[in-house]
Structure 1
Amino acid sequence: LVILFIIGYGAYLYWLHTQKKLRAGYVALLLGLVLLAGTVQFIMLIRARHYPSINEVEPARWRDFVSVLKREQYDPMRLFPRKTQFLTEDDWRANRNPAFDVFRAYIEQIAFYVRYFLWQWGNERFLDILFTNFPRIFLRLGWQGILGLIPPLLGIWGMVHQFKRDKKSFALIFVAFIIASLGLLTYLNLKFSPSDPRPELKFREVRERDYFYAFSFVFYTIFVGNGAYALLRWADAELKKKKFIPLPVFAGILLAFGFVPMILNYKTVTRRYNWIPAEYGYNMLVCCEGEKAVVFTNGDNDTFPLWFMQTVPSLVADNNPNFGKNVAVANLSLLNTTWYCKQLKRWGAPVSFTESEIDRLPQGFVAKNNRVVLLKDIMIRNIVATAGGVKLNWPDDYESSPQEFIQKVFGSGYQPKSPVYFATTVSPDNMQDVQPYLRLEGLVYRVVSEPEKTPGEEQIDTARTRELLFEKFRMKSMLDPRVEKDENTRGLLITYAHSYLLLAMEYARTGNYSAARATLQPALRFEMEGPQKMLLFYHYSRFSALSGDYQSAMGAIDSAMAYAGNDPRLQLELIIQRGLIAQGMGNYPEAERMFQQARAMQPDEWQLVNLLYRLYVDQANYSRARELLTDWLRRHPADANADRLLRELP
């Protein structure tokens, strides 16, 4: 970019020279303005030297400040290959197996810019078009969305009008618009959108990136204004001839259209009543007991709410300025940076490394069995071990296998002086060094001294989790129907639902089905969609059936089927459950219909034949049972179990 600026600026100076307009004062003024514009970045340098509680990248030294400006913490920008050529990140990094050529990949990125552009006027709930998703181009289209098309259409008219009347101002605004849209799109080389409806595209941005193009949307509003002016001029001439409608009335209607984007987008963008992020931060922090506690978090969505609640006195925490200050938030993404590791140590996290030792830690290395160890993996082990008073040896204990690490740290009894937690949003591969020693407490897993009794069966502190879910947590906004729940919010709802479900399943494991049902009932109110909501209704139905309330079980399973979609595996499981409920109610014809429907989906599955067999035996309908087993043995003659059941029939 610097080279392009120098070339462009040099070309401009040469043009001024050819026009005999080159003046030293003018050149100095231009350079001065460029330098002045750059000084706004110095706020980072000044702020960082005061070491505030949130000090990302910590550019307190000139070298670090320059590094931030050069964005060295990110992958270097590459125009080619385009990221949308590849289905996975691994393929892009290795430049292998491109799914699309460069041209098609660029069209994919343009398609998402157009999609983001249209969202600004009509809102994605009413107008969502993705022309590369052929043949289903219109993902959503309502009459509100058609209204939202009027401003961008006026913008096209405004372009033509301004080009005819003032080519210089048109060129200035149009070039600025192109640079802020296509230019930025080309430079950023973004991945696929997270909301792309095509499931095969795995290489996606973590969130929608429409905000990157905000300046292009602003520049386009100038053309919209010109289009409105051109329309009024045309209307003035036409209405004088036909006198169909007074010009002031027409102008008022046109002015009203300026409020269309605001009206269509208001429900989505308003923050009124929406305390969900603050409530989530509060609820996560209230799970973390003890002084100098550490909680490992996964990404932005489960880190920034915690930082906010620790830094800003909030109504959610009763304006307590010290709320959450006992917890050091260890974001796993940032733990791959030395500056954040040093900040964690200053916050009181149990880190045995000195700051100079942290500066010398590697970004990663290859350990035994070709296992890749990153800086975050080093810090996880160090914090867990130091909290328990265990001294690790460098590098042996950091390159050892998870089993060897667990044996050293937990083998002789783990007694943490500082509590260590992992958010439930953290992926299992980041918890492999402590997996058997995790116990669920609300929204976090606590590292404890006792391993799980049954391998693979999670430990749950039922009393503590119930207290948190039903007494400590603040969830007013989350359950408020007036609050719009976007995709990120629904992700938080899934996190809550996961804890409710695990607690309910623990109650069910001990035979307390009424407590299991009562635990799941609040989660059924969450505004969730698809398989996640289906899973809650499925288990509620199962617990209801086990407690003998077949009527509630049937209603819940019907609700689950409404959320299951077209996944045949889910449909099969729900059909079987519905048949079992009908059988428990004594509605044998309905049970038989469900089991036969399931059998038609998987005719060679013995479990389904066995369900029908037991249903017929319960009714003493031995002739149907005999026909069923005979048919099965004709296709599976080697099934000794089916042959035995057939011979045992009266």
Structure 2
Amino acid sequence: CIKEKYYVGATIFTSFFLVIIGYSTYATIFIRAQQSPFINENDPSTLPKAISYLNREQYGDWSITDRAQSLKNSSYANRWTKNRQKPTSKEVTDFVIDYQFTEMYYRYFAWQFIGRGDNNWPLLTKNGNYIKSLDGINPFRYTIPFAFLFGIIGFMYHFRRDWKRGLAVLSLFAATGLMIILYLNQYDPQPRERDYSYVGSFFAFSIWIGIGLAGLSEFIQKLFNDKKGISVIASLCLITILMPITMLNTDFKEHNRSGNYVAWDYAYNMLNSCDPFGIIFTNGDNDTFPLWYLQEVEGVRKDVRVVNLSLLNTDWYIKQLRDYDPPIPIQMNDNDISNIAPMRWEPREMKVAGLDGNIDTGLSWTLNPTYHNKFLRVQDIMIYRLIDACKWKRPIYFAVTVSDDNRIGLDDYLQMEGMVFKLHPQKVTSINYEKMKQNILQSPDVDYIIRTPEQFTEYNASGQGIYHYRNMNNPDVHFNFNIQRLVQNYRASFLQLVINSINGNNNEKKESIEILNSMEEYFPSKTLPYNNDKLELQVAQIYFMLGDENEYRNRLKNIEERDRVNSETLLSVGQMYLQELNDYPKAYDVFKRLYEKDPNNIEYMYASVQSLARMEKINEAIKILENWLIKYPNDEQIKGLLNSLNEQLGS
């Protein structure tokens, strides 16, 4: 009676109470921030700061409805339009349906309940050029996608038996799935896969999987007229055992992290690239969080101060750099820091005093605007202030992943030493050869951990390799695409070292070959594929420069025979066959492949004719030119080439 009389009020009170319980979990953030931990992002220690943190104000505002603007802001806009500034309505619609809905939600949904594909979702430009591949969908990954089928059965069964509660689950499913997609209005590409954003939606669908099993058991019981339920129990046992065993058998290696030390070693290598009490500027989350973990949990190189450039735009982070150990001598009070903002900027000469304190013997460079060609970002202002405040008492580094436009024009004063660039008070060569070689070669004892500045100094003096590359040559360890991409930073360091040697700084072919062989030993391409055509092309060219033609051919063949390869890269492969190896038939095969794919591309056509002419197959070359002139009769340059070949044939 009471329940019926106060039903509405009880429902409102219960709902409000549950909301309070849900939001009360955020109190842990507020309480933790009060303790001033070393990692204290946004410093939500007061109510206004906590609200700002929950509202994600540091990420700024974005339009929920302006889909065209998200397309314009996309780095991969050429996937969807040939005119970034004026995409058509159809192109915007395709962007929303094919990217925001399909790639950023349906694909993730399929990962959970149908099957994740292995790097089988190619991204192509409007011109058909290959960009890269993502993990797509494999409907046969688990032979039969039982989870998806049971979910669909459960959806239909739920609405047939109780449409009101079915609608409630559907509301949860939509609100935590497609509605989030509409709200976020994401640009292409995102920094990482975002499948974790839609877990609520996946939970809702999982409810239907359970309901589907219940519906199936009811159907089986009626079908066999099994009042005791033996057939139901047997069927459900078979299904519930079969599904997880199939998934375990398929996914165990991919989900097994044993023996995978990539993130740990990456952070270790970066920290131990720095001299004692150094300061290192890092680019983003992937460069920063592993380093923080090693420092705070493992106690590795806590003397090195990690400065995240993304966070350096915020006042709370600048205050922490100034106040937390080991502090950075930032000569700014709280009010100055709170009021710092991007400033209008014209290119001007900047100076930092040298080791002797003389302004004329230190850094001198032109600092250009870094934002819209008009402004200087807060992070750029702070980089300059930090460098100036340290007065060369602490070594300063930039991680190699920090892009050129985030290094405020200091490139002439930066010297590569492995995974870092070290800042010097005078102009330097691009690479510190000996230091970099010691850093990137693997330590003979990877079980020994350098934790303190004293240990670093002692070990560094031994001249032995510093970095760790544990298990990266182990074919039994699974390395996903992101790890494969990260490894390219290591390979790039080895290649820079070899190129520096070839260019005369240490011109020893034997040592260069040894360095390349070490790279292949640490990161064999069979275990860690390049997934970067240009990088492997560079490796091939280096082998050719060192006189190893067989390896050069093998590398070109690897690139050429890939299922998906960028047309620009394939053209370069053909030119190498043509000009460096004088292998005209191979060159023609490559150019022909390109020309058949894009018969209106004059560059591909000309390269095909050139290789045929080198093979003295003049008639075939003439035929290609004649067909071209049928399509483009006013092409005077091709007419001249045709006349030249006809004369050559006549003579």
For normalisation by structure 1, the TM-score amounts to 0.73
Q: How far has the Cα of 1:27 moved from its partner?
A: 4.5
| Superposed CA offset, 1:77-107 (max 9, x none) | 542113786242599xxx9635546765553
Q: What amino acid does structure 2 have at the position aligned with 1:229? A: A
In the superposition, relative to structure 1, how do residues 376 and 148 fare at CA in structure 2: closer, same or farther (>3 Å)? farther
1:187 matched to which residue of 2?
183
Please state how far the C-alpha of 1:598 moved relative to its aligned partner: 8.1
Is the 8 Å Cα contact of residues 416 and 436 (structure 2) preserved in structure 1?
yes
Aligned pair partner of 1:74 in 35, 38, 59: 59
Partners of 1:424 and 1:443 within 8 A in 2: yes
Q: CA deviation at 1:301?
A: 0.9
Q: What is the letter of the counterpart of residue 259 of structure 2?
A: Y
Pick from 27, 33, 43 the counterpart of residue 42 of structure 1.
27
| Secondary structure in structure 1 of the residue aligned to 2:60 | coil
Corresponding residue number in structure 2 for 1:505 = 499
AA of the residue aligned to 2:467: F
Q: Distance in 1 between matches of 2:12 and 2:555?
A: 74
Q: Matches of 1:69 and 1:576 in 2, distance apart?
A: 55
**Is residue 209 of structure 1 aligned with residue 205 of structure 2?**
no
Residue of structure 2 in register with 1:430 after alignment? 406
CA displacement at 1:262 relative to structure 2: 4.7
Are 2:319 and 2:334, in contact at CA under 8 Å, matched by a contact in 1? no
Query: Which residue of structure 2 aligns with residue 107 of structure 1?
Result: 97
Paired position in structure 2 for 1:619? none
Alpha-carbon distance in 1 for matches of 2:58, 2:211? 42
Q: Which residue of 380, 384, 388 corresponds with 2:387? A: 384
Q: How many angstroms does 1:189 deviate by?
A: 2.7
The one-letter code matched in structure 2 to 1:444 is V
Find the aligned partners of 2:552 and 2:101 in 1 and give their Cα distance.
49
Query: Which of 94, 108, 111 is 1:116 aligned to?
Result: 108
Q: 1:439 aligns with which of 415, 422, 438?
A: 415
- Per-residue displacement from partner, 1:601-627 (whole Å, max 9, x unpaired)? 859989x989999x99xxxxxxxxxxx
Output the CA distance in 2 between the equivalents of 1:354 and 1:579: 61
The CA distance in 2 between the partners of 1:72 and 1:448, in whole Å, is 37
- AA aligned to 1:422 is F
Residue 517 of structure 1: how far off its partner (Å): 2.2
**Conservation of the 8 A alpha-carbon contact between 1:441 and 1:461:** yes
1:359 equivalent among 337, 355, 358: 337
Cα distance change, pair 522–605 in 1 and its aligned pair in 2 (3 A): farther
Give the 3-state SS of the residue equivalent to 2:143 in structure 1: helix
Question: What number of residue pairs does the alignment pair up?
Answer: 540
Q: Name which of 421, 429, 434 aligns with 1:463.
A: 434
1:168 is displaced (CA, Å) by 4.3
Aligned equivalent of 1:283, options 269, 280, 290: 269
Deviates more, 1:70-79 or 1:279-288: 70-79
Corresponding residue SS for 1:421 = strand
The whole-number CA distance in structure 1 between the counterparts of 2:20 and 2:142 is 45
Taking the aligned partners of 2:167 and 2:588, their CA distance within structure 1 comes to 70
Aligned equivalent of 2:558: 559
Q: Secondary structure, in 3 states, of the residue corresponding to 1:330?
A: strand
Paired letter, 1:333: S
Structure 2 residue runs without a partner (length 5+): 78-83, 348-372, 442-464, 596-602, 617-636
Q: Work out whether 1:97 is the aligned partner of 2:86.
A: yes
Q: 1:419 aligns with which of 383, 389, 395?
A: 395
Cα 1:349–1:464 change in 2 (3 A) is farther
Consecutive unaligned residues in structure 1, runs of 5 or more? 1-16, 192-202, 314-320, 390-415, 454-458, 584-590, 617-631, 640-645
Counterpart position of 1:487: 481
Query: Offset at 1:368?
Result: 1.2
Q: CA deviation at 1:576?
A: 4.0
Task: State the distance in 1 between where 2:85 and 2:539 align.
Answer: 46
Distance in 1 between residues matched to 2:410 and 2:330, nearest whole Å: 18
Residue 440 of structure 1 deviates from its aligned partner by 0.5
Structure-1 separation of matches of 2:56 and 2:551? 56
Measure, in 1, the Cα distance between the counterparts of 2:269 and 2:406: 22
Separation (CA, whole Å) in 2 of partners of 1:25 and 1:633: 85
What is the CA–CA distance in structure 2 between the aligned matches of 1:464 and 1:491, rounded to whole Å?
Answer: 25
Aligned match for 1:448, one of 413, 417, 424:
424
Correspondence for 1:311? 296
Cα shift at 1:218: 1.2
Q: Which amino acid aligns with 2:519?
A: A
Within a 5 Å distance, the mapping from 1:477-626 to structure 2 comes to: 477-510=471-504, 511-524=507-520, 525-526=524-525, 527-529=527-529, 532=532, 535-536=535-536, 538-563=537-562, 565-578=564-577, 582=581, 591-594=583-586
2:331, 2:167 → 1: CA distance?
A: 58
Q: CA deviation at 1:495?
A: 1.1
CA contact (8 A) 2:154 2:215 kept: yes
Specify the code of the residue in structure 2 equivalent to 1:152: F
Check the 8 A contact 1:437/1:452 in 2, yes or no: yes
Greater relative contact order (CA < 8 Å, ≥ 6 in sequence): 2
**CA separation of 1:68/1:547 partners in 2, compared to 1, >3 Å: closer, same or farther?**
closer
Partner Cα separation in structure 1 for residue 158 and residue 35 of structure 2: 50
2:356 counterpart residue number: none
Instruction: State yes or no: 1:332 paired with 2:309.
Output: yes
User: Residue in 2 aligned with 1:52?
Assistant: 37
Q: 1:635 to 1:172 in 2, by over 3 A?
A: closer
The answer to which of 420-429 and 544-553 deviates more is: 544-553
How many Å separate the matches in 1 of 2:221 and 2:605?
76
Correspondence 1:143-292 to 2 at 5 A: 144-145=140-141, 147=143, 149-191=145-187, 203-239=188-224, 249-259=234-244, 260-291=246-277
> Is the Cα–Cα contact under 8 Å of residues 397 and 421 in structure 2 kept in the other structure?
yes
**Superposition deviation, residue 249 in structure 1:** 4.8
| Contact 2:414 2:424 (8 Å CA) reproduced | yes
Structure 2: distance between partners of 1:150 and 1:82:
36
- Name the CA distance, whole Å, in 2 between partners of 1:360 and 1:327: 26
What SS does the aligned partner of 1:465 have? helix
Provide closer, same or farther for how the CA distance between residues 133 and 552 of structure 1 changes in structure 2, counting only shifts above 3 A. closer
Change over 3 Å in CA distance of 1:475–1:122 after alignment to 2: farther
Deviation at 1:48, TM superposition (A): 1.0
2:363 is aligned to none
| Equivalent residues of 2:146, 2:243 under 8 A apart | no
Matched, 1:372 2:375: yes
SS of the aligned residue for 2:26 comes to helix
Q: Structure 1: which amino acid aligns with 2:343?
A: F
- The C-alpha deviation readout for 1:28-57, integer Å capped at 9, x for no partner, is 454333223322211112111211111100
Deviations 1:131-164 (A, max 9, x none): 999999x986656336353211211111222223
Paired letter, 1:161: Y
Measured against aligned partners, the alpha-carbon deviations of 1:401-459 in whole angstroms (never above 9, x if no partner) come to xxxxxxxxxxxxxxx21111011111101114311011001100000133145xxxxx1
Query: What are the Cα deviations for residues 570-607 of structure 1, in whole angstroms up to 9, with x where unaligned?
Result: 23433343456656xxxxxxx3545667898859989x
Q: Which residue identity does 1:34 align to in structure 2?
A: V
Find the aligned partners of 1:24 and 1:269 in 2 and give their Cα distance.
48
